[in-house]
Amino acid sequence: MIEARRLHILRAVADHRTVTAAAAALYLTPSAVSQQLTALEQETGHRLVDRGAKGVRLTPAGEILLSHTNAVLAQLERAEAELAAYGKGEAGTVTVAAFATGIAQVVAPALARLGRAAPGIGIRVQDAEGDASLRMLLDRQVDVAVAVEYRGAPPADDPRLTHLPLYAEPFDAVVPVGHRLADDAEMPLAELSELSKDPWIGPYPGNPCHDVVVLACESAGFQPRLEHSSDDFRAVVALASADAGVALVPRSALRGMDLTGVVVRPVDGVAPTRRVFAAVRRGAEAHPLIRPVLEALEQVAAEG
């Protein structure tokens, strides 16, 4: 008989690629993870992992078991949801991880909506970048992730997750007031390539917005010269106002921000865009505590 908790460990090792990282995500010691992997190998009668200097790699038998693991764990999530529904679980806490502007755009309004419609459901919010929240979700540290599509992100058909699209928003060009393109503030920027010679300010690599900026510039035929880096868009705008460079910033991040010293221009044509979605572990979408949270997020996003 294969124990489900050992399947959780196998998936964590497959996701994190090292025993140490998997142990940290699961709040276990590396020796405990190794012991559970050994026990799982004894239960299945197959060697499931190869340990090397660069980390852990699943064997072919391990890959086969992992493909079933995703289905088994999703079914267990559904079982928990049905049991909670049977018990009329109308009270409890749901933990949501989201990036800062996602919190302002949809999470906080959804929290307020739930406070009126489902006062028994408490929401605990954790600020996490768009790529970090999905790892936290898969590691069972949170119940819902509000994340951004990015290169390397789990695809919408990932067997571990259920995706719910929320909204898409364009990035606007931000230039210093003394910039050569600052005069036509009311007009869209015809070509992003007009900024190809400028120094750029942008998020660090690994931040999903970094991918959006780089891909937009590459599509316009140039590689941005990123001279200043910050994941805080207030800092990005402050640097632009100090004439340190130009930037692309999500439109929602600019709301309520001090824009003294900069000019904001939309980008003509197909503007750089970030797509925001909510995700839960597959099978958990029907949980009586999680389902109202997803519905509230979707309603707030639809109202725009």
Give the tens place of pLDDT for each residue, 153-184: 788 889 999 999 999 999 999 999 999 998 87
Q: What is the CA radius of gyration of the chain?
A: 22
Average pLDDT, the chain: 89
Q: What is the pLDDT of residue 290?
A: 93
User: Number of C-alpha atoms within 13 angstroms, CB side, residue 7?
Assistant: 19
CB 262 within 8 A of CB 76: no
The CATH superfamily assigned to 89-166+275-303 is Periplasmic binding protein-like II (3.40.190.10)
> Structurally, what CATH architecture does the domain formed by 4-83 represent?
Orthogonal Bundle (1.10)
Q: What is the pLDDT of residue 272?
A: 87
Q: What is the pLDDT of residue 187?
A: 81
Distance separating alpha carbons of residues 131 and 248, to the nearest angstrom:
19
Q: What is the pLDDT of residue 90?
A: 62
**Segments of the chain scoring below 50 in pLDDT:** none
Q: Where in the chain is the domain with CATH 1.10.10.10?
A: 4-83
Fold of 168-274: D-Maltodextrin-Binding Protein; domain 2 (3.40.190)
Q: Where in the chain is the domain with CATH 3.40.190.10?
A: 89-166+275-303, 168-274
